[in-house]
Amino acid sequence: MGLSEAEIEAVATRVADLLRDQQQSRVELVDAAAIARRFGVSRDFVYQHADELGAVRLGSGPKARLRFDPAKVGRVLRKPPEKVAPRTRRRATRRSSPLLPIRQR
């Protein structure tokens, strides 16, 4: 069984495409300091919101190192905030109590 030169070229091209796709889809995880610099937030913010930002824990101890996928963090931080009903101020009623007099010194 022999392959023609065109078939060999087609297989080589397909393998190169697959390798390129695999390399592009590889997630590169970075530490909290890199996330803080990239998105203009503090490291404390990154650690406080680690779970929301999709932190990957390296280890199982209480001080396990955290790594983050910058693309995922970007999606989380750019998501529009949930709408919250605006706070309304109470208006003073005409029947409100009079203010206490101010003593002159």
Model pLDDT for residues 3-31, shown as the tens digit of each residue: 888 888 988 888 888 877 766 666 789 99
Can you tell me the mean pLDDT for 52-60? Answer: 90
Q: Are 33 and 43 in contact (CB under 8 A)?
A: yes
3 inside domain = no
Q: Is residue 9 part of a domain?
A: no
Residue 35, in any domain of the structure: yes
Cβ burial, residue 56 (10 Å; 0-12/13-18/19+): middle
pTM of the model: 0.53
Domain range for residue 69?
27-80
Task: Give first-to-last CA distance, the chain, whole Å.
Answer: 110
Strand 56-58, strand 65-67: pairing: antiparallel
pLDDT digits 0-9 by tens, 96-105: 677 778 887 6
Record the tokens describing residue 55, joined without a space: 């932190």
Comparison of pLDDT for 100 and 45, the residue scoring more: 45
Tell me, yes or no, whether 13 lies in a domain: no
Q: How many domains does the chain have?
A: 1
DSSP state of 97: P
pLDDT, the chain, mean: 83
